């Protein structure tokens, strides 16, 4: 039997009536505050209404809203009932919603008012669709207290981005949530005085795992915005008084490029900002100088739940490294045959631990994919990393993003790093496409910094001076922006589809 879950953690801190849990900033800049005690009442009221709608333990509740307090009401309400929350991207199309509903076996769908039509157009008549605003209006303001017994087993089904196939539902348990919250709170020293700035989508693991759950463990609070805004982030970092924040590299670059520097940018209470994915040293230095907060890189996946690697939150952190193994996390780096590789040699990252506690339980209704994911008692990430002599890890690339060029393996991330160092480049994405002579040709898609207009030939010359010949792109495409998932990951599948034929090789 579980000893705690997200709702139990919430109630532990509700004894102090005024302790803040959530500060919400809506799209018009209006803020509202919710205490732990108020959040407990909202969760219980939501659970009572869902119970009236026939939701019981084990039922799947599809949740499709933007960042808003009611997302958390449903998240905690499902924990009260033992129902499974299925949080999804509010930008999902009707076809994508149909897949989510069918795959998860949802019986109820809760959506923003403007999204209910999308859910209904998925054509699943057996699924009850609830308008989240109507749910709030109908739930009891003073719900009856419940003798909550901490839940165990599956708490959520979270869908992967699905850039190469239909998204898979990752099974995340109550034990997973508590484990990651405890680990992150301990590593970052989160206390009741801390407040997370959450601008990334709540339906994503980053916001739930690292921010929400560590705040619940420590009794801290969350400053939630309705969406990420590059121009608004500096103001949110000042006005909402967070001490912690989490971003991906792409939003960091957007903030630096689109939000004009202001002398008051550093007038904030931030003590650190987590980030994932690569930044150049120049970008990281500019961010830290401008906002006065150290950047701490980490690595994690929806499936790993607990991030295997996190940098130390002190002067020993490194911008170019994904960090050291988090205490209690087992890792291996292996070759294609499963043998350990020596320090400095890239290999696939495997993560150890108990499924359903340390790592995700698997994929919903996909036994073959689950067996492959957890083969041999280790979670296979599909990511290539290398370790140095001190055990510090460096991300190399997704295994599928390695480009085979005339018999040589080229890491797309290595080419991206070189291109990103050009003073006129904001960011780039590199991928391979089939080439009848050289296996694959290398294509670089480049977004310039505002006010700059680099020519492809200029960028190719830059690469030739810094990369071995076989690593130099065959084609450079200068564009206004890169296609992304909702959390900022670059859609390389979209980029590949745009290039219909091999480019002429560079000389």
Is 440's pLDDT higher than 90?
no
Residue range 143-159, pLDDT digits in tens = 988 889 999 999 999 99
- Please provide the DSSP assignment of 387-450 as one string: E-TTS-EEEEEEGGGEEEETTEEEEHHHHHHHHHTSTTEEEEEEEEEEETTTEEEEEEEEEEPT
Residue given tokens 């200029």 in the structure block: 458
Residue range 264-316, pLDDT digits in tens = 999 999 999 999 988 889 999 999 999 999 999 999 999 999 999 999 999 99
The more confident residue out of 318 and 437 is 318
Residue range 205-215, pLDDT digits in tens = 999 999 999 99
Tell me whether strands 221-225 and 195-198 are parallel, antiparallel or unpaired.
parallel
Q: Could you tell me which of 219, 217, 300, 306 has the C-alpha nearest to residue 5?
A: 217
Stretch (H or E) spanning 234: helix 233-239
pLDDT-above-90 percentage for the chain: 80
Is 129's pLDDT higher than 90?
yes
Query: What does the alpha-carbon distance between residue 288 and residue 297 come to, in Å, rounded to a whole number?
Result: 13
Widest pairwise Cα distance in the chain = 75
CATH C-level class of 406-498: alpha beta
Tell me whether strands 347-351 and 331-334 are parallel, antiparallel or unpaired.
antiparallel
pLDDT for 502 equals 55
Q: Is 137 exposed, middle or buried (0-12, 13-18, 19+ CB in 10 A)?
A: exposed
Average pLDDT over residues 91-101: 92
Average pLDDT over residues 10-28: 94
Residues contacting 501, CB < 8 A, separation 6+: none
Residue range 215-245, pLDDT digits in tens = 999 999 999 999 999 999 999 999 999 999 9
Residue range 403-439, pLDDT digits in tens = 878 667 788 888 998 999 999 999 999 999 988 777 7
Domain boundaries, the chain: 406-498
Residue range 57-85, pLDDT digits in tens = 999 999 999 999 999 999 999 999 999 99
42, 6 contact by CB (below 8 A)? no
Q: Is 420 exposed, middle or buried (0-12, 13-18, 19+ CB in 10 A)?
A: buried
Stretch (H or E) spanning 108: strand 106-111
pLDDT for 1 equals 55
pLDDT for 507 equals 45
The average confidence (pLDDT) of the chain is 93
Average pLDDT over residues 96-116: 96
Is 506's pLDDT higher than 80?
no
Q: Give the pair of three-digit tokens for residue 100.
A: 């989510």
Residue 138 CA, distance from chain mean position: 32
């Amino acid at each position: 039997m579980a000893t705690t879950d997200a709702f139990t953690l919430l109630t532990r801190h509700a004894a102090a009536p005024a302790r803040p849990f959530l500060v919400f900033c809506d799209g018009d800049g209006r803020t509202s505050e919710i205490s732990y005690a108020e959040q407990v009442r909202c969760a219980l009221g939501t659970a009572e209404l869902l119970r009236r709608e026939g939701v019981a333990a084990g039922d799947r509740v599809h949740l499709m809203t933007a960042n808003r307090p009611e997302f958390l009401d449903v998240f905690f309400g499902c924990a009260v009932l033992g129902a499974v929350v299925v949080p999804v991207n509010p930008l999902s199309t009707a076809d994508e919603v149909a897949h989510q509903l069918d795959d998860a076996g949802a019986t109820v769908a809760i959506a923003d008012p403007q999204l209910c039509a999308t859910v209904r157009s998925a054509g699943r008549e057996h699924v009850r669709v609830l308008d989240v605003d109507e749910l709030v209006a109908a739930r009891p303001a003073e719900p009856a207290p419940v003798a909550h017994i901490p839940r165990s087993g599956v708490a959520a089904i979270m869908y992967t981005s699905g850039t190469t196939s239909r998204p898979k539902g990752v099974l995340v348990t109550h034990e997973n949530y508590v484990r990651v919250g405890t680990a992150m709170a301990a590593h970052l020293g989160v206390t009741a005085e801390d407040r997370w700035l959450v601008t990334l989508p709540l339906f994503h693991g980053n916001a739930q795992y690292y921010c929400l759950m560590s705040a619940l463990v420590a009794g801290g609070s969350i400053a939630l915005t309705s969406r990420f805004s590059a121009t608004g982030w500096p103001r949110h970092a000042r006005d909402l008084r967070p001490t912690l924040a989490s971003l991906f590299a792409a939003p960091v670059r957007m903030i630096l490029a689109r939000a004009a520097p202001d002398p008051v940018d550093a007038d904030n209470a931030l003590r650190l900002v987590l980030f994932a994915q690569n930044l150049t040293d120049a970008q990281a230095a500019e961010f830290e100088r401008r906002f006065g907060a150290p950047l701490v890189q980490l690595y994690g996946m929806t499936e790993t739940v607990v991030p295997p690697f996190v940098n130390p939150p002190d002067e020993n952190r490194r911008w170019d490294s994904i960090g050291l193994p988090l205490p209690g996390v087992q890792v291996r780096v292996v070759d294609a045959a499963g043998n350990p590789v020596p320090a400095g040699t890239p290999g696939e990252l495997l993560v150890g631990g108990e499924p359903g506690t340390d790592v995700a339980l698997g994929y919903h209704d996909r036994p073959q994919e689950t067996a492959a994911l957890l083969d041999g008692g280790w979670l296979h990430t599909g990511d290539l990393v290398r370790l140095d002599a001190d055990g510090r890890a460096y991300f190399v690339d997704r295994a599928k993003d390695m480009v085979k060029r005339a018999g040589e393996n080229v890491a797309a991330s290595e080419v991206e790093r070189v291109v990103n160092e050009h003073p006129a480049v904001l960011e780039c994405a590199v991928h391979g496409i089939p080439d009848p002579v050289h296996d694959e040709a290398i294509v670089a898609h480049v977004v310039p910094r505002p006010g700059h207009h680099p020519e492809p030939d200029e960028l190719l010359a830059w690469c030739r001076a810094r990369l071995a010949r076989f690593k130099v792109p065959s084609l450079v495409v200068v564009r206004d922006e890169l296609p992304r998932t909702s959390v900022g990951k670059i859609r390389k599948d979209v980029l590949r589809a745009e290039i219909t034929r091999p480019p002429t090789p560079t000389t």
